[in-house]
Chain A
Amino acid sequence: SQKIEQNSEALNIQEGKTATLTCNYTNYSPAYLQWYRQDPGRGPVFLLLIRENEKEKRKERLKVTFDTTLKQSLFHITASQPADSATYLCAVPNAGNNRKLIWGLGTSLAVNP
Chain B
Amino acid sequence: EPEVTQTPSHQVTQMGQEVILRCVPISNHLYFYWYRQILGQKVEFLVSFYNNEISEKSEIFDDQFSVERPDGSNFTLKIRSTKLEDSAMYFCASSEPGRGNGYTFGSGTRLTVV
Contacts and interface: CB of A to CB of B under 8 A. Distances in A.
A40 B48 CA distance: 25
Interface residues of A, number: 28
Interface string B88-114: 010101000001111111111010000
Interface string A87-113: 001010110011111111110000000
A56 to B, nearest CB: 16
Contacts of B48: 99-100
A103 B38 CA distance: 13
Interface in A36-54: 36, 41-49, 51
A102 B56 CA distance: 13
B56 A100 contact: yes
Interface of A: 31-32, 34, 36, 41-49, 51, 89, 91, 93-94, 97-106
